[in-house]
Structure 1
Amino acid sequence: MKKTYRNPFFKWLMAFSLLLQLAAVPTLASAHTADPMTAQVDAVLYALEQNPESIGMQSGISIYDLTKDKMLYSHNADKNYVPASNMKLFTGVTALDRLGPDYTFKTEVFVKGGINARGQVTELILKGYGDPTLTEADLEELAHDLKEKGVTTVRSRLLLDDSYFDDVRLGAGWMWDDEPYGYSAQLSALALHKNFVTLTVTPGKSGKKAEITLDPQTDTMAIDNQVKTVDGKTADVTVTRARGKNVVTVTGTIGVDASSYQEDVSIENPTLYVGNVWKRKLEEAGIKLGSSIRIQTTDKAYDEPVVTHESRPLGEIMVELNKESDNFYAEQLLKTLGAVEKRKGSAEAGAEVVADFLNEAGITTGYSQADGSGLSRYDLITTEQMVQLLRYVQEKPYSELLESTLPIAGVDGTLANRLKGTPAEKNLIAKTGSMSGVNSLSGYVTAKNGDKLAFSIITNGIYKSKYARSLQDQVAVLMASYPELDEPGDDGLPEPEAYKLSDLLDPILDAPEATGVSAGIIVKALDEKGKEATWYAHDADKLMTPASNLKLLTGATALTELGSDYRFKTELSASTPVTDDGLLKGNLYVKGYGDPSIHTEDELKAQDGVSIESIVDAIKKRGIKRINGDLILDDTYFDDQRLGLGWAWDDESYYYNALIDALSLNRGTVMISYEPGARKDKPVKVTITPNTSYVTVINEAKTVAKDEENTFTILRDRATDTIRLQGNLPLGSDADYERVPVEQPALYFGTVLKEKLEEAGIKFTNGSEVKRGELPTKVTKLKVFQSEPLADILTYMNKKSDNLYAEMLLKAVGAKANGSGTADAGIEAVQAVLKSFGWTTNFDMVDGSGLTRYDQISARHITAALEGMAAAESFDIYYDSLPIAGVDGTLKNRMKGTAAENNVHAKTGSMSGVNSLSGYVTTKGGTKLVFSILLNGYATSSKVMTSIQDEIVEALANYEE
């Protein structure tokens, strides 16, 4: 066994040695300064920028000397970054200020109509006020208190009141693939065990199933136990919860001598989960429940509570919030702030309270808060803002309390195992934050001279997290050692490189309205080589969120691996030959191979290719008049992962978030067309295209007067095909439509096909079903349909920036190049293509469309793909597929009347806090350039970012040497 050094002095010696090495590294901005702190931190940053595995990191750093009231160090301090759990400081400090350290959460029990002489009550109401700490033991105590109050029987209903909060169960932008886990638990005013259950897998007898238990025990969760006990001491267990359902599947193996495996699994509809456990606790307390007892939710007001439970005070709860970085506590606090201060228990109202407090602290604008915990990647803050908050808190009576809740370096919480044996141990107190691509640390440290420092370090674009932590730890040691730092050398760091277009383009990035925006930009001449080919670069290696610019890589790989003439096929087969009189005595099969363009001949048709109607015609031409079997859809060419990893749960009702399936129709959507009713108070008029029974539309929307607010919305119930129309649509509103995704695209395809066949007079036997299945090896092939060539498919994808097309292409590439219709296999092919262009793959690609914020890539990576395609045989097809400025696609209305119009061919990309533009432009002097502009961060509107892009590209188009 390799020896592990645990001597604190040895660790400090190694850290000090590293600092001495870094001190010798020439640095950037501090090239000729005499400030040791600036020189040393810049040296750390410079060293990381030379490492291919950390070069993409982008960091904001602020260090403020509270004792001397001066800024010690600032780097990108005004740029916005995703903060992860550092967001909890915004939420937690506001809670201490507005609610107070002594604030307690209550949970109340009411009875309707009182308790009769025999101790009977008709209805029992349990009402929550957002207590994030409520436990099974607390419910047990409430039940015993009721028993002591004389309650013996509940005859009719157990009512649960969670109306103190709204019914939005997840934070804005949270990712669907986080949902099964306890750290992403659903939110509710009536909550228990932080709205998750702890699932424990214990070995059984060898060869037999493992044993699974839940804590708390609940009937609301169904467990599919597929774990086998095997010989050995290791466990390989996977726990998944079906999206939108309390169905948990546990697979894998566990050794007969292994320790138990545990996983915290979140609960769908947590209020009913509380009710289920509450019912059991009442029974255990000896309170009888009627044989037909019902558990329901309510929001009615009742008289004084019979019994009340109060939580620990907020000051104590804050310890767990910060030291253990508890997401659930933070989210419940945010909604409580909204309920107490704004009389609305929503995240939005809570964020308003935080904004009011931050305004008092001097932070008036320039940030975005979407949730309370930092789990959302919509959150954007600066280190300057964080340090301003930490400074402001020092003036407050709860400052010592807040500091006592922060993790202590080398001692406890999320810092228990960090900075041991260094000057920062037991000295630095700070809130950590981490998730894929993000790492942050903000708090306080006492310097060597006794000065108290407030600091914030937020890093995004992390390819490997160890380097972000290394940055934090090295800066922590520097702060703790301050001012006893080595003096900077005479040489300093090299000056930032100047480029041919630096004087032209640098001023565009300096616009005041773009202060919070980080930019990764590169411009290269296609016909030049070496360093001279780079006409401009600004943070070109920083890993950024690209949005739809990622489609450039997906499209390039599809052309390379599949070829421009590739056509997607769709196979139609029968299990038996068709009889002479038109009878198919078996099943009809349709197998899909990822054609994204299959459509119905109506408004949903996007481009030519295979239509449902053409499939019906083919069946008729084969003489089929009656089908005695089932209609079976084979979509096994792709895997069963229907959504890209990291896609946001609250996008699921929108067309751009359609589910991915090898057999898809109308880009996986139905069209809901709507317009106001004939007069006020009439239902909104609705039509569905195609007119199918596959979806259920519940129209609760009504027409209102012309001057009333338009609150009309269309949403799909999670993991179902129920679409709800709600709100008010004023008279005079234009007729419009929304495309809404379906839950099981293959079944939608099959249902519409069956309906169209029946309309055409082709009958199915009673009881025949539309279902998914695998095509048998022995079938009668009826016809193979083919899509338009890939060149046309790619053009539609890029011009319209269609996410589904991109995801289908990625999986199709994976199937062709690597034998697996998965996103991972497709991404492997993308990386191989980029390597063939001569570039590295030190970036993160997780989907094909750029919809996920897990994607992290640099402007240099994107231009590498564009350069590679410029030398490829299929370049003309690739080039023509891109939107043209002022002409078509997503650039149709941009750069009109400029030198860029009908010149620039480029891919756009945009989502909240992200905007990108990459492609090709020809200068006035005739030089062909390739460029990539990636913008991330906070701006007052998306127009700020598009204006920067347009101004840069127009300057390139006008350039004349």
Structure 2
Amino acid sequence: MKKMKRIGSKLLLSSALAMQVFVLPAYATSTETTSVVRTIPQIDSLVDKLSKSLNTIGMHAGIAVYNTRTGEILDEYDADKTFVPASNLKLFVAAAALDKLKPDYRFKTEVYTTGQINKQGVLHGDVIVKGYGDPSLSEEDMRNMAKELSKKGITSIRGDLLVDDSYYDDVRLGAGWMWDDESYGYNAQISALAVHENMISLSITPDDSIGETPSLEMNPINKYVTVQNNAKIVEGSNNKIVIDRPRGTNTIVISGTIGKQSSAYTEDVAIDDPALFAGNVWKNALSTEGIDITKTKVKIEKTKITTGTPILVHNSQPLSELIVQLNKQSDNFYAEMLLKEIGVVVKNEGSFTAGADVIEEFLKKEEIDTNYRQVDGSGLSRMDLISPKQMAQLLKYVSQQEYKDVFEQSLPIAGVDGTLKSRMIGTSAEKNVHAKTGSMTGVNSLSGYVTDQNGDKLAFSILLNGVRTSTSATAFQDAVAVLLSQYPNQTGEGVQSIADTFLLSTLIDPILDQENLKGVTTGIIVGSLDRKSGEEVLYQREADDLLTPASNMKLLTGATGLRELGPDYSFKTELYLNAPPNKHGKVDGDVIIKGYGDPTLQSEDPSGQQNGTKVAKLVEDLKKKGITQITGNILIDDSQYDFQRLGTGWAWDDETYGYNAQLSALSINRSSVLVNYQPSEVGKPVTFHLEPKTEYIQIINESKTVSADSSNTFIIEKERGKNIIYLKGDLPIGAHPNNEQIAVEEPSLYAGTIIKEEMEKAGIKLSKRAEVKTGLVTDGNEKISQLSSPPLSDILGYMTKNSDNFYAEMLLKRLGADKKGEGSSSAGAQVVKDSLLKFGIDPTYRMVDGSGLSRYDMLSARQIGSVLVGMSKEPYFDVYYQSLPIAGVDGTLKNRMVQTLAENNIHAKTGTLTGVSGLSGYVTTKDGEHLYFAILMNGYTSSSSILTEAQNKIGVALAGVSFK
């Protein structure tokens, strides 16, 4: 299928004129000739309609179709581009598992004992359960295992219950999984010993009177998890139940209401540290089967078996049956366990990485392009990237293998079962299409098989990103699948493909058409700020595609901050007393500090912005008031903002780092500490010091200094949900001093602790019982001091030039608090949409945070361009313009485009996440014309330098353009 360019107004130039205007540099282009495949032209029409419907504008598609009998390519559209595949990635895992493990492969779980069993059946020793990655192990299986122990004569255990999950590594969550998904069953942690898919199933039933607490059932029953049921029964049939499990804990909090007339509410909740959970379920199973474990203190601890013969072995169903659950029900847990299993079987390493390596080698062996990225097995991670061609090639290959029937029978069938049970009913695709679905916010996929009218089996893959409504995505997929089921007897016509040409096409096309950018989706628009309406767009490609913007999202946050708050806006921080000092300066009461979201607030240490707002001034003002002693507590009022500390969709494995800092209306030093470290003497611990030096953080130093020729394995880790930092590994003696910015938990309490310590250093006496805790400013409290931040114009400069995520998030919540009365990211994002709508910016984008850290964010190049154009007409444009990094001069562009015409010319915002790169801003041409540009690039699977080099080339080319 020929690719349709979905773009608007055209500026046509003859090729001769174009060559006169521009002197083009030479760029490497593809030597391959891409054939235009138009066997199924009706699909052209379906794709063309995506850009014309209000429901689908921004959605971009990749399609590949093969005839598995002939090997013929029947249809392609952006088939080489890489997409986030969601659960379609499970097909990679299923195929590799069948190929490497074989369909009859079974997982095992072993039970060992130590010590002796006396004549009365008393085991004077331990019972150890060792897991080998069985994803299907259930509570019933454990009861059957307990029965087997009983049959072997064991009546009582006088030792410990130990669990061994060492068969896999201890990385529990996939790379890039989102912290706010962590409590849900579909996001369960991964361990070699697992029961009930490492989750519990809760059922909440309104079976009591209105106003009372509903009943709760938990399966499997265990004492490992603590449940706080705070829900209430109300009148009606609606339920507003909220279930939360705070990070790093096994406490589940149920809140909200459930209607008296409603049915039971059910939810699966993932648990933390799952091997110990399995041990607890095992303990209950032993007790249920009558094995006495009450006469001694039973411990559940981790261990590692190295030798011995198991007393019993439990085997799972064969792989051929397990992959039915994997694919028909799109079971994430099964996918991840299978990925680690093929890693340990083939590579002797039960890790995500080893499993992904096995799959890559499998694909290479079958000559399938491996220019893709896989970091997990389920597709939960948005760092996964594959192309439709790779998927369709895999399906074509599998169709020729001995295990082809096992593979195909595991797939959902349209209108029959699994995740396709309710789709394509009453069409020629019903009971015909066997395919794997995939769905996440912004992503929707369908890949599998369909039999055409000639009886040939077609392998197809439809990958969709930039999806705003799943119904429109599935409708498109279903329509394509129906067309394939009717091939070659479809009715209807395709659309005529016309290549659009723009004034700058001959300048920019060769850069973007390079072979090394083949898999990248680029949304780009370039326009003039000086030309009249209708002539201002000089170039565009995929300009309406909704892409992940990374830090280009800060352009929207900053623009709205200036528009709604003004460049002179200042954040404040207040200090109150709830009791007046006596004549001796003693306060028989509390100090209350109220935060309003100042992102620049800092102690005297250099871990915050230079020239920020010093909290020491609050203490100075207390001293000026003659206050010498405070008998109460340090209360923190952070009520200006909500209590969601992390952005929606932020990755769990970024939590440690300062760029992912937690948010609070009262935060100091960007909610982080600086750990400085350097080698000491060989054999001794690495030397470190903390800035600021505070009791709020505990550092456990397990590292050591090693000889200069030793490997550098030094790492800094923070325990999840706690303010405990570990220094681990070896640091060679010759290593240079370095530092790491580490995010803290509960930043408001951190801020209060810093202020408390500042007060003590200043000689203000505090009670030994004084605590830092949350509180509220109330009527009658006396304001003693107020701090004011630098103006927003300065804050914006720091935020944008340094791409500071914390500043962006604090500003977004401030917008929500000031304009909506709600200091939340969602309220702030609504302010942004309302404000930018006045620029005429299409509100179809998705904004869930202010920094662009979230991969839920979706934005088009055209929308960014509209912001840049709109801001150029505002009276404070110079503030906005000067806040941007300058090529070759400062910020994140300091080392880019140096010694070119773009140096000290381009003012633009960078944006980088794994698989994502962007550059958007302003440039002045060689003859003085002012241009704006927005470039969003998604889908690279190798080095990000490939994308920045392309952006640099475009920037330099624009700076060198002369239209005269």
TM-score band, normalised by shorter chain: over 0.9
Is the contact between residue 209 and residue 225 of structure 1 (CA under 8 Å) also seen in structure 2?
yes
Task: Using structure 2 for the length normalisation, give the TM-score.
Answer: 0.95
User: In structure 1, how many angstroms separate the alpha carbons of the residues matched to 2:217 and 2:471?
Assistant: 36
C-alpha displacement of 1:602: 2.3
Deviations 1:824-860 (A, max 9, x none): 1101110011110012101111100000000000000
C-alpha distance in 1, partners of 2:94/2:785? 63
Residue in 1 aligned with 2:368? Answer: 363
Once the 2 structures are TM-superposed, how far is the Cα of residue 36 of structure 1 from its aligned partner? 6.3
Indicate the residue corresponding to 1:344 in structure 2: 349
* Structure 2 CA distance for aligned equivalents of residues 115 and 361 of structure 1: 54
For residue 364 of structure 1, report the CA deviation from its aligned partner.
4.6
1:92-131 residue CA offsets vs partner (Å, 9 max, x unmatched): 1101111111111111110012423332231110110011
Equivalent residue for 1:113, pick from 115, 133, 139: 115
Q: Is the 8 A contact 2:845 2:858 kept in 1?
A: yes
Structure 2 residue corresponding to 1:927, chosen from 922, 926, 929: 929
Aligned residues: 929
Given that 1:35 and 1:488 are in contact with CA atoms closer than 8 Å, whether structure 2 keeps it comes out as no
Aligned partner of 1:505 in structure 2 is: 508
Confirm or deny: 8 A CA contact 1:37 1:485 kept in the other structure: no
C-alpha contact (below 8 Å) 1:432/1:442 kept by paired residues: yes
Separation in structure 1 between the aligned mates of residue 831 and residue 531 of structure 2, nearest angstrom? 28
Distance in structure 1 (CA, Å) of the matches to 2:230 and 2:492: 63
Q: What is the CA deviation profile of residues 881-918 of structure 1, one whole-angstrom value per residue up to 9, with x for unaligned ones?
A: 00000000000000000000000000000010000000
Q: SS at the partner of 1:142?
A: helix
Matched to 1:429, the amino acid is: H
- Cα distance in 2 for partners of 1:509, 1:682 equals 53
Q: Is the 8 A contact 1:37 1:482 kept in 2?
A: no
Is 1:687 matched with 2:692? no
Q: How does 1:273-672 map to 2 (within 5 A)?
A: 273-289=277-293, 290-486=295-491, 488=493, 492-493=495-496, 495-672=498-675
Instruction: Report the secondary structure of 1:351's partner residue.
Output: helix
Contact 1:56 1:543 in 2 (8 A): yes
Cα 1:35–1:937 change in 2 (3 A) is: closer
Q: How does 1:82-161 map to 2 (within 5 A)?
A: 82-119=84-121, 120-161=123-164
Q: Which residue of 2 aligns with 1:5?
A: none
Aligned-partner SS, 1:391 = helix
Secondary structure in 1 aligned to 2:304?
coil
Contact 1:609-1:786 within 8 A present in 2 as well: no
Aligned to 2:32: none
Displacement after TM superposition at 1:471 (Å): 1.4
Distance 2:790 2:360 in 1: 52
Q: Deviations over 1:306-345 (max 9, x none)?
A: 0111100000001010000000000000111111111111
**What is residue 46 of structure 1 aligned with on the other side?**
48
AA matched with 1:925: D
2:448 maps to amino acid: G
Shift of 1:200: 0.5
TM-fit CA distance, 1:601: 1.6
Aligned to 2:202, the other structure's residue is in SS state strand
Does the residue aligned with 1:960 lie in a helix, a strand or coil?
Answer: coil
Q: CA deviation at 1:488?
A: 3.5
Match among 847, 850, 853 for residue 849 of structure 2: 847
For residues 87 and 714 of structure 2, the distance between their equivalents in structure 1, rounded to whole angstroms, comes to: 34
- Do the aligned partners of 1:361 and 1:388 also contact (CA within 8 Å) in 2? no
How many Å separate the matches in 2 of 1:38 and 1:529? 42
Partner of 1:231: 235
Greater Cα offset, 112-121 or 36-45: 112-121
Q: Distance in 2 between matches of 1:361 and 1:876?
A: 57
User: Which residue number in structure 2 is paired with residue 801 of structure 1?
Assistant: 803
SS at match of 1:432: strand
Amino acid at match of 1:574: L
Is residue 591–residue 633 contact of structure 1 (8 Å, CA) maintained in 2?
Answer: yes
1:35–1:763 CA distance, 2 compared to 1 (3 A): closer
Per-residue displacement from partner, 1:509-532 (whole Å, max 9, x unpaired)?
011111111100000101223331
What do residues 32-83 of structure 1 show as CA deviations (whole Å, max 9, x unaligned)? x997644211100111111133110111100111223211111101101000
Partner of 2:23: none
Change (3 A) 1:368 1:124: same
Q: What residue in structure 1 maps to residue 198 of structure 2?
A: 195
SS of 1:156's equivalent in the other structure is coil
- 1:728 and 2:735 are equivalent in the alignment: no
Query: How far apart, CA to CA, are the structure 2 residues paired with 1:341 and 1:34?
Result: 40
Letter in 2 for 1:822: S
Q: Which residue of 1 aligns with 2:31?
A: none
Structure 2 residue ranges without an equivalent (≥5): 11-34
TM-aligned CA distance change 1:605 to 1:195, over 3 Å: closer
CA deviations over 1:626-654 (Å, ceiling 9, x no partner):
10000001101000000000000000011
Q: For residue 883 of structure 1, what is the aligned residue in structure 2? A: 885
Letter matched to residue 375 of structure 2: A
Quote the Cα distance in structure 2 between the aligned partners of 1:811 and 1:605: 19
Give the Cα–Cα distance (whole angstroms) in 1 for the partners of residues 93 and 457 of structure 2.
Answer: 23
Checking the alignment, whether the CA contact within 8 Å between 2:373 and 2:941 is kept in structure 1 is: no
Q: Aligned partners of 1:179, 1:164: CA distance in 2, in Å? A: 23
C-alpha separation between the residues in 1 aligned to 2:688 and 2:157? 45
Q: Residues 820 and 379 of structure 1: is their aligned pair in 2 closer, same or farther, counting only changes over 3 Å?
A: same
% identical equivalent positions: 50
CA distance in 2, matches of 1:926, 1:372: 52
Kept in 2, the 8 Å contact 1:36–1:487? The answer is no
- What are the within-5 Å matches in structure 2 for residues 855-894 of structure 1? 855-894=857-896
Partner of residue 719, structure 1: 721
1:147 and 1:67 map into 2 onto residues whose CA distance is 56
| Aligned counterparts of 1:114 and 1:843: Cα–Cα separation in 2 | 67
SS at match of 1:459: strand
Amino acid at match of 2:891: G
1:940 partnered with 2:945: no
Question: Post-superposition shift, 1:271?
Answer: 1.1
2:102 partner SS: coil
1:653-690 Cα shifts (integer Å, max 9, x gaps): 111100011000100100101111212x2111111111
Indicate how the Cα distance of structure 1 residues 737 and 520 shifts in structure 2: closer, same or farther if over 3 A, else same. Answer: same
Distance (whole Å) between structure 2 residues aligned to residue 682 and residue 947 of structure 1: 44
Question: Secondary structure of the equivalent of 2:922?
Answer: strand
SS in 1 for 2:127: strand
- TM-score, normalising length: structure 1: 0.95
Distance 2:856 2:566 in 1: 28
1:813 matched residue in structure 2: 815
State the one-letter code of the partner of 2:90: K
**Counterpart secondary structure, 1:473:** helix
Quick one: structure 1 residues 35 and 330, their matched pair in 2 at CA, closer, same or farther if it must change by over 3 Å?
A: closer
Question: 8 Å contact 1:36–1:485 — kept in the other structure?
Answer: no
Paired residue secondary structure (1:288) = coil
Alpha carbons of 1:677 and 1:574: their partners in 2 closer, same or farther (altered >3 Å)? same
Tell me, in whole angstroms, the C-alpha distance in 1 between the residues paired with 2:765 and 2:345: 62
Match in the other structure for 2:249: 245
Q: Distance in 1 between matches of 2:400 and 2:456?
A: 17
Q: Name which of 758, 764, 767 aligns with 2:766.
A: 764
Q: Which residue of 2 aligns with 1:835?
A: 837
Aligned amino acid, residue 547 of structure 2: M
